Homo-oligomer: A and B are copies of this chain.
């Protein structure tokens, strides 16, 4: 506790946050390779499939937690990702084309994503230049996150790789976000001292509602979600996050 208190008081004087927590998919990990594979497998439909797949993936996580917050409808993100892929394919009339081999190809791509090119330099800067502890807080289940971190060349960069699987409740359930404060030994009431970074507008809203300081990595240049809560800062790429950490 004394170490934490010291850190808090030093960060208070320096203006630095006590930690930075990252969403994973779309924020650190680039799903572009999945879209490319989808386009190869389903010419002319790759983009539509990827978009609907992602939409259904997120929707299914939220429906399952909302229907039973105690986790009775929870299934791991990997399984939801397959469920969502199959629905998206059916919706686009591609069920016949989604062979076992095609499905395996897409899921393999999903498992082994690259990092966005701006991610590693930013993570290094936050660690080396500012000495900030870092974490991932993701809907992904632990085996998915382990492989993704390795594939993206990010092994050893994070103090914590946190999966909502630990609470069987998907974001934006507050218990999911609370994994971050808990991992860093910080009370929820002090969540503002942590910066939460996500490319997903709804995730930023959930994190802001929870109490984090939020940075919306608005890679797709989308309008803000009208949920009555905005990000503390918005930027197009990770260099703008580093600038925000330096000059909040």
Contact = CB atoms under 8 A, between A and B. Distances in A.
A84 B225 CA distance: 8
A83 interface: yes
Given A68-B209, A209-B68, A228-B75, A172 B63 contact: yes
A65 interface: yes
A63 B226 contact: no
Given A91-B222, A222-B91, A227 B64 contact: yes
Contacts of A223: 87, 90-91, 95
Number of copies: 2
A54 interface: no
Interface string A59-97: 110111111110001010000000110110011000100
Nearest to A80: B226
B173 A87 contact: no
Contacts of A62: 62-63, 66
Contacts of A83: 226-228
A209 B70 CA distance: 13
A174 interface: yes
A205 interface: yes
21 contacts: A55-B55, A56-B226, A60-B227, A62-B62, A63-B202, A63-B206, A66-B172, A66-B173, A66-B206, A67-B172, A67-B173, A67-B209, A68-B174, A69-B69, A73-B228, A83-B228, A87-B223, A87-B224, A90-B223, A91-B222, A95-B223
A227 B63 CA distance: 9
Interface string A203-235: 001100110000000000011111110000000
